[in-house]
Structure 1
């Protein structure tokens, strides 16, 4: 008895000691988490102080610019430009935080010098004159400076920034917010910063991108406590320093291809390692997937970000069902037309005609259609499902109804079985639309020669093709409308808006007596005068397969398209339109440079492949 009691007593002691040990670990871990949270709060407080300081310096420079412009003094141009450049520098410092926490105000302050039109419906149309740094840059560096206009815009921007400053509060943010800010900053530099997107006159984009990196490095230092791996923190500092050094190059000759390969993508790799090192859990996913280490990959984008209908995961079985429906002519009233009639797979989902049979416009590609924020050339639909409905109801296309199409589908046992297996409600109108949309969303393989090279999977690009990409992203300014990596009009890195442009596309191939094409585009929806001839910016992926080009198919070769742009669009061939969004100045590209750009465009052709393996519907 005594022996057994002693053993039990010893066992009890050991159990108690172990329990005490576990309790200490829990307490220590809890204390560690509280201390870490406190450190994170302090880090955001430091960020906020620096951010507010940058806003204040920007406001001060704008106020000085306004005062200089208001003086009746001939020798004011030089100080005005100095004040502008200082204001712009501090705005770029503040951009990282401002663009994340207040997207609308950031867009206002950084918008292009183009009339802003908001059309909710025919009773709610707003036209807003542009303001902000791009407008101010064009004014301050004009041959004849309108000082009254400079003073007006400087005052407007200063007041807007003062309002932003007074409403800044970052201390409630979490570590994952900072990681999103960090990644957005990296992506913005690569996709708009180094292209000259927001520095139309000075082309100061490289220096301004270095400003962004300088602030990224400073902000990152505030979060040093989050790093368990000291080497990872040092790797960040080394990468950011190298990026700033590389951005000292000349705008025209800058190697953007190498910058993305040597800096942007390695930084995305560091970003993924950092979220793992910090053990961060994200509440949801933005445009980029959290594991993305390349901007040019089939795993880069979160397709749900582009889906306002929240239609669920993209399952392989739904994609394959959608493909059958997409190519089934029995769904149309005539029994002879399918989606695939005008969107043929071997032509990158176009039809090779200037205008599709019975239609007034060129057939747009379905490639990468899921990565945009507007459908049809005039953006009359806001979702793929809405586009499908419009095609089904159109008298010159399917000329039927969703109800009738649903009955056709239900009459086919194979379809009925598949829908019952994949959808709870079977072959409903909603589910039919979802299946077809799922197939279209899957047409974004990112497996072209260019993708494989810039993502480091192979080294097969020629010097001409690389030069072409650098010209596309730089001197030729193609990427200021066709944004990489999708090369369409959806603006990175937020990818919440798809732009429309007025290019002045002619009715025929004529550079002497050119006349504007009669299609009024967006104007036909709401009758907004300033939206005449506006059309959505399409993707250039697979462009080698999608001739003829433009909404009316007027150009049959890429050489003709490049000649149009090189002349300055419609303005360069004598078509004068008040709201042309394409800069009217000639690009002055040489014949060799045009060949190089076309060589690059040819690398954007996807490899033939089956739909990628996605999630299961089960």
Structure 2
């Protein structure tokens, strides 16, 4: 009886396979192939469950077959399931490194990772139940998803190329990294097979097949490659980016007017994931009012950002904690409070690329930059004021009223939504993809310090940093959809030989994603971007470490205490001093000197009434 649910699913895949009679040959062929691969996944799952009472070696062998079958269809599952459902099926191994008592309770814990962890011990019944449920959900979603063929399936394959490079090859979803290359090859083989079906549909079928030939050569070349030895930089720069560019351009020629809405976090114009226009900034600024010129809004927001008129004492500004020369951080362990005291409990994060965040604050407690702005306005140690007070002051300024009227094409005074919108637009303009690493990947004529290249390979491989700080943002925002914002713990609260690192900040425990599990999110914080680190010291949520090497020394110290819920592998990574130096060189290659020179506090503030004239308020404040 316990297998009837999955057997029923397999029958359902066969029964719902008819589809609409007027589908093209391509659509019918793809539908048949996808159903066949999903059926193979279900059969592998059934086979894995049948050996649960056998020896661990047999269970492990069956699991490897199951995981390969999953990788074959992962790109399609990503559009058949919603983002959270996919994560419940397959997710970061960090969610299963915790105390075994808690693991299975976490919705974030991917069921496949729960199963992998249990291979040498008792059967994980919760993981099995979760997979049964999600596979049933997949079959139902497949019938609905058929109407989106063929463009959705094609773009899902292109997106899956990004997923497999940035996530799978980082060790993101594997407890045993020795299996990672085999997982990647399984996905790559599937991509090749499916993309072949689209060749006859392309305007230039020859160019399409030439790109696929490169993927075929890559698939063959990766056989026998070890996880720690893979040159991920060369793989991306020399093979994958040229292939992605060709496939993307040819796909856009054929389906350019029909780009699926769910893929629009990407521009589909950037030739490299490290291009300035690869991510679609407008999609992350979707709340901007229609008919308003974004450049005008950004200019108005810039004035407000540096104007102390927003604070209760007319001395504090956004730039008090987010200074342009510090990559919009402030260079302090924790920021000064309203009365010039230490005041705030956390380190001021950089605002650069924060437009791409899905949540704000270190505890992920705010869902938008608009909420973040309002929290600063009312916070007693930040602006200590109200929107009513701010509007009363702004509306005394004829210059400000004219600027707002021009931007929003309205009359009758300034309102709070307009102020927040302008500040949001300026924040959204603070984007940085001009570092040496960015130029190295997107410009074939650019070289990079070999030590930094080696550091990139370590970061994305052996050191497993890239399994939390996801490229190309090197933050917790997960590619390729950029909808999930991750948070992690490094156990810095444990102290021991690293002085007293405890600060009493509970992290996500105060704002847990799941209230019933609040205490298990203690000391978890949003995973920040590592870009522009040279300008944003000190590091960590409470500014514990003053430089990059000091931070790395802590993170890679094999004697460092391992918290039960920390997101580091329990064993030592065995990184040599030279390897740590290479990682430091890579992190330094993420510094964008161009963007640091592009912004200035030298702002001419608009006139207000006599009591708040520019002479009485200093641009960027006095903090």
- Pair in the same fold by TM > 0.5: yes
**Alignment deviations for residues 346-404 of structure 1 (CA, whole Å, 9 cap, x no partner):** 11111111111120111111111001111111111111111001001111011111222
Alignment correspondent of 2:199: 224
CA distance in 1, matches of 2:150, 2:197: 11
The alpha-carbon deviation at position 308 of structure 1 amounts to: 5.8
Q: Which residue of structure 1 lines up, in the alignment, with residue 209 of structure 2? A: 234
Q: Contact (CA 8 Å) 1:138, 1:201: kept in 2 or not? A: no
Give me the whole-angstrom Cα distance separating, in 2, the residues matched to 1:293 and 1:450.
15
Counterpart residue number, 2:303: 324
- Structure 2 equivalent of residue 421 of structure 1: 406
Distance 1:101 1:115 in 2: 23
2:139 aligned to which of 159, 165, 180: 165
Match of 1:287 in 2: 265
In 2, the alpha carbon distance for the partners of 1:303 and 1:421 equals: 23
- Could you report, residue by residue, the CA deviation over 1:189-224 in whole angstroms, capped at 9, with x for unpaired residues? 221122111112144222222211211121122223
Tell me how far 1:258 sits from its aligned partner: 1.2
Runs of 4+ aligned residues of structure 1 deviating over 6 Å after TM superposition are 37-40
- The answer to whether structure 1 residue 64 and structure 2 residue 47 are counterparts is yes
1:61 positional shift: 2.4
Deviations 1:448-496 (A, max 9, x none): 1110111116423011010000001001111111000001101110111
Point out which structure has higher relative CO (alpha carbons under 8 A, 6+ apart). Answer: 2
Q: 1:129 to 1:478 in 2, by over 3 A?
A: closer
8 Å contact from structure 1 (residues 488, 539) kept in 2: yes
Residue 327 of structure 1: how far off its partner (Å):
1.2
Corresponding residue to 2:327 among 348, 358, 364: 348
1:110 aligns with 90
Per the TM alignment, residue 311 of structure 1 is displaced from its structure 2 partner at its CA by 4.7
Deviation for aligned residue 1:54: 2.3
**Pick from 425, 428, 431: which aligns with 1:438?**
425
Report if the CA contact (8 A) 1:567-1:585 is conserved.
no
User: Judging changes above 3 Å, is the alpha-carbon distance between structure 1 residues 276 and 489 closer, same or farther for their aligned structure 2 residues?
Assistant: closer
CA distance in 2, matches of 1:321, 1:351: 23
- 1:585-605: CA deviation from partner (whole Å, max 9, x where unpaired): 222111000000000100111
Residues 404 and 246 of structure 1: CA distance in aligned 2, closer, same or farther (over 3 Å)? farther
Q: 2:245 maps to which residue?
A: 269
| Cα contact 1:373–1:383 (8 A) shared by 2 | yes
Out of 304-313 and 197-206, give the one that drifted further: 304-313
Measure the CA separation in 1 of the matches of 2:254 and 2:385: 55
Q: CA distance change for structure 1 residues 554 and 221 in 2, over 3 Å: closer, same or farther?
A: same
Q: Is the 8 A contact 1:476 1:587 kept in 2?
A: yes
The 1:403–1:282 alpha-carbon spacing in structure 2 relative to 1, beyond 3 Å, is farther
Question: Comparing 250-259 with 156-165, which one deviates more in the overlay?
Answer: 156-165
**8 Å Cα contact 2:166-2:479 kept in structure 1:** yes
1:553 CA drift (Å): 0.7
> Is residue 583 of structure 2 the alignment partner of residue 597 of structure 1?
yes
Q: Do 2:363 and 2:507's aligned partners in 1 also have CA atoms closer than 8 Å?
A: yes
Separation (CA, whole Å) in 2 of partners of 1:514 and 1:131:
34
Q: Which of 359, 362, 370 is the equivalent residue of 2:344?
A: 359
- Preserved contact between residue 507 and residue 554 of structure 1 (Cα < 8 Å): no
Change (3 A) 1:491 1:464: same
Aligned to 1:543: 533
Map 1:127-276 to 2 at 5 A.
128=107, 130-140=109-119, 145-149=120-124, 153-154=127-128, 156-158=130-132, 160-165=134-139, 167-169=141-143, 170-248=145-223, 249-276=225-252
Q: Deviations over 1:170-191 (max 9, x none)?
A: 5322343133212211111221
Preserved contact between residue 377 and residue 535 of structure 1 (Cα < 8 Å): yes
Match of 1:525 in 2: 511
| Structure 2 CA distance for partners of 1:575 and 1:291, relative to 1, 3 Å | closer
Equivalent in the alignment of 1:42: 25
Q: How far did 1:540 drift?
A: 0.3
Question: Which 5+ residue runs of structure 2 have no aligned equivalent?
Answer: 1-19, 97-104, 337-342, 600-623
TM-score, length-normalised on structure 2? 0.83
1:339 is the counterpart of 2:324: no
1:582 aligns with 2:568: yes
How much does 1:136 deviate?
A: 1.9
Between stretches 299-308 and 391-400, larger displacement belongs to 299-308
Alignment check: 8 A CA contact 1:252 1:475 kept = yes
Q: In structure 2, the residue corresponding to 1:435 is in which secondary structure?
A: helix
Would you say the 8 A contact 1:55–1:161 is kept in 2? no
CA offset digits 1:277-308 (Å, max 9, x no partner):
31531354511102121101211111233346
Structure 1 unaligned regions, length at least 5 = 1-36, 117-125, 613-618
Q: Give the corresponding residue for 1:89.
A: 68
Which residue, out of 360, 379, 382, partners 1:397?
382
State the distance in 2 between where 1:127 and 1:89 align.
Answer: 24
In structure 2, do the counterparts of structure 1 residues 86 and 340 end up closer, same or farther at CA, with 3 Å as the change threshold?
A: same
Aligned partners of 1:360, 1:495: CA distance in 2, in Å?
29
Change (3 A) 1:601 1:187: same
